Amino acid sequence: MRRASTLASVNVLSRSLATVHGGAAATSASLSHGLLQVSLYGTSSTTGSHVRRRWFDSFSGGPAGKLAIGVAGTLASVAVASSLTQEVYAKEPPPAELVPKDVVLYQYEACPFCNKVKAFLDYHDIPYKIVEVNPLSKKEIKWSDYKKVPILMVDGEQLVDSSAIIDKLNDKIVPERVAPPSSNDDEEKKWRQWVDNHLVHMLSPNIYRNTSEALESFDYITSNGNFSYTEKFTVKYAGAAAMYFVSKKLKKKYNITDERASLYEAAETWVNALNGRDFLGGSKPNMADLAVFGVLRPIRYLRSGKDMVEHTRIGEWYSRMEHAVGESARIKA
């Protein structure tokens, strides 16, 4: 069992850019249309299927040292409680016979829906390979009738749509549950839908709020995305400029008057949903926790994410999730 690390890798949010021909930028109308699709993240996610869950607990115990006789009982209780608090963040992979043998994720590094899938794979220690898709040519997924990301190949089976991918993968690694559905399942489903239908729409207006933040975002995108040398310059500056204006349209579309205030409100809404629990799933994250974490992870160390943590109560939960999700299960080439 691999212990969770304390830091998550820095990601940024974006999707595909406008078509480029011969290294030159497309027309502004075409670029704006493509970037509007980027800002909406192209992929829709649904959580209609019944969610089945089993969480794995792993605890180590024993007092840390000899206890004074007069306070032995009290200190022993404290030691046990402390041990449980620390070990709640330890994770355990599914039974070996249920772990897929060959998992390949076709993605954009900065895509929030791709990061949802990666959060699930990382948390369950399911090894996977990454194929970074060029968002301009999409040549890496020419073989697929589905032209969006994420696409997850699991032992030769193609899975698409982030929430559907997670549901199907969860069914594969978690044995059938005998107990009937509980109110916790309804709560989990509700908040997974909230992520796809509300939270994700708060992101683009924030990361493209002004020209400097737009350039910050595209600087990462061009540094980590699958672009040719000639594409990088065009994408960074033309993309940042276009998305700055597109973000203004998104504000109107989603009735956002103040970008940061809307992001802060969403963060506080999530913290309120926890209702004092470490995770929505209780002592361990459930799929709603992983969905929120996955969507927010790309912006965490951007200016918008730093502001969110500074001005809301979400920071402690996010830190717990970094510990719980832990190191990436990605297989490095």
Q: What percent of the chain has pLDDT over 90?
A: 56
Beta-bridged to residue 330, according to DSSP, are 128
Say what the pTM is.
0.74
In a domain, 311, yes or no: yes
What mean pLDDT comes out for the span 24-51?
Answer: 41
Is residue 201 included in any domain, yes or no?
yes
Task: Please report whether residue 203 resides in a domain.
Answer: yes
80 within some domain? no
Residues in the chain, total: 333
Rounded Cα gap, residues 169 and 173, in angstroms: 6
22 — pLDDT class (breaks 50, 70, 90) = very low
Residue pLDDT, tens place only, 77-101 = 333 333 334 444 556 678 889 999 9
pLDDT mean across residues, the chain: 78
Indicate which residues carry an active-site annotation: 108, 111, 113-114
In a domain, 79, yes or no: no
Confirm whether 194 is domain-assigned: yes
- The pLDDT, as a whole number, for residue 250 is 92
Q: Is residue 321 part of a domain?
A: yes
Residue 281 confidence (pLDDT) above 90: yes
Reply yes or no on whether the pLDDT at 292 is more than 90: yes
Range of the domain at 254: 103-176+183-325
Q: What is the CATH number of the domain that holds 307?
A: 1.20.1050.10
Q: What HEC string does the chain produce?
A: CCCCCCCCCCCCCCCCCCCCECCECCCHHHHHHHHHHHHHCCCCCCCCCCCCCCCCCCCCCCCCCCCCHHHHHHHHHHHHHHHHHHHCCCCCCCCHHHCCCCEEEEECCCCHHHHHHHHHHHHCCCCEEEEECCCCCCHHHCCCCCCCCCEEEECCEEEECHHHHHHHHHHHHCCCCCCCCCHHHHHHHHHHHHHHHCHHHHHHHHHCCCHHHHHHHHHHHHHHCCCCHHHHHHHHHHHHHHHHHHHHHHHHHCCCCCHHHHHHHHHHHHHHHHCCCCECCECCCCHHHHHHHHHHHHHCCCHHHHHHHHHCCHHHHHHHHHHHHCCCCECCC
**Per-range mean pLDDT, top range of 30-44, 98-112, 209-223:** 98-112
CA distances from residue 28 to 19, 20, 32, 61, 214 in whole angstroms, order as listed: 11, 11, 6, 62, 17
**Higher per-residue confidence, 173 vs 14:** 173
How high is the pLDDT of residue 227?
87
Question: Distances from the Cα of 173 to the Cαs of 97, 176, 230, 283, in angstroms?
Answer: 9, 10, 43, 20
* Structural domains counted in the chain: 1
